């Protein structure tokens, strides 16, 4: 039941791309294509940005993309904008329950 | 459009039970396409999945909470509920209810969340 490992912070200049990693095990990230990513602003509920590794819900810009290789999932934000500055959490199915990541703060320089 | 709303006490004493209800509007909780889940987020920390329930009453819990947790569904009221016993300060969090799509990691929408503080 350990939390998935994310870098505490990543940063980039407007227009650049940033990638957030989410490392788990073969019992969660590596075992299922059920990885999701959430964006959260202070005082707000998390917002779903990616589900099932690489699918975007309606309304989420295509600047957000997801992928997975082995036990590590990744979220890439292309063409970084000021409004993308937020906390991001990954989440993975782990058999009979879900486990969240430790969270990453994205800073736009 | 589906809407979820949490309700329950905002303050619970240590060692007592925490009980919350999520009311679903704009759709039926009896759909076979969804699970209905609870997620909490302690102040300043990341989210934590707690558990979910199917309309049939089948439940899935976070393993470390199994001994203290009960999630139930009331299809007649279009509600599902959470009961967490023997609470401590570590259970202080914003509690969210959420619709989870069966066979997918899609969880949407979320309720607005309700802060529950465990304190004497």
A36-84 pLDDT per residue, tens = 999 999 999 999 999 999 999 999 999 999 999 999 999 999 999 999 9
Neighbouring C-alpha atoms within 13 Å toward the C-beta of B98? 26
- B55 in contact with A, Cβ within 8 Å: no
pLDDT digits (tens, 9 = 90+) for B33-87: 999 999 999 999 999 999 999 999 999 999 999 999 999 999 999 999 999 999 9
E-state strands within chain A: 9-12, 18-23, 35-40, 47-50, 64-69, 72-77, 86-93, 98-100, 104-108
Nearest to A1 among B60, B63, B104 (CB): B63
Q: Give the number of other Cβ atoms within 10 Å of residue B65's Cβ.
A: 19
DSSP state letter for B71: E
Query: Percent helix, strand, coil in chain A (nearest 5)?
Result: 5, 50, 45
For A98, the closest chain B residue by CA position comes to: B49
Give residue A19's pLDDT. Answer: 98
CA distance B55 to chain A (A): 17
Q: Is A27:A95 a contact under the CB 8 Å cutoff?
A: yes
Q: Do A34 and B49 touch (CB under 8 A)?
A: no
Q: How far does A99 lie from chain B, in Å, by closest CA?
A: 6
Cross-chain residue pair B106–A55, CB shorter than 8 Å: yes
Test mutation, B53, B94, B97, B105, chain A, max A CBs within 10 A: B105
**B103 torsion bin: left (phi>0), alpha (psi -120 to 50), beta (else):** left
Beta bridge pairs of residue B100 = B35, B107
**DSSP codes joined into one string, B72-101:** EEETTTTEEEEEE-S--GGG-EEEEEEEEE
Beta carbons of A100 and B62 less than 8 Å apart: no
Residues of chain A with Cβ-Cβ distance to B51 below 8 Å are 97
């Amino acid at each position: 039941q350990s939390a998935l490992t994310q870098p505490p912070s990543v940063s980039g200049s407007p227009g650049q791309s940033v990638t957030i990693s989410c490392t788990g095990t073969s019992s969660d990230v590596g075992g299922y294509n059920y990885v999701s990513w959430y964006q959260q602003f202070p005082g707000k509920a998390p917002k779903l940005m990616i589900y099932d590794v690489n699918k975007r819900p309606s309304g989420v810009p295509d600047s957000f993309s997801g992928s997975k290789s082995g036990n590590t999932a990744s979220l890439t934000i292309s063409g970084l904008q000021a409004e993308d500055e937020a906390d991001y959490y990954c989440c993975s199915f782990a058999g009979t329950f879900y486990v969240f990541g430790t969270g990453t703060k994205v800073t736009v320089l | 459009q589906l809407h979820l709303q949490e309700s329950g006490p905002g303050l619970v004493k240590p060692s007592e039970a925490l009980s919350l209800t999520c009311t679903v509007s704009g759709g039926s909780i009896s759909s076979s396409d969804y699970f209905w889940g609870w997620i909490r987020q302690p102040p300043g920390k990341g989210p934590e999945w707690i558990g979910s329930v199917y309309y049939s009453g089948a439940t899935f819990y976070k393993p470390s909470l199994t001994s203290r947790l009960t999630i139930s569904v009331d299809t007649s009221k279009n509600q599902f509920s959470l009961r967490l016993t023997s609470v401590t300060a570590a259970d202080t969090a914003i509690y969210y209810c959420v619709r989870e799509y069966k066979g997918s990691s899609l969880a949407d929408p979320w309720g607005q969340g309700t802060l529950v503080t465990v304190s004497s």
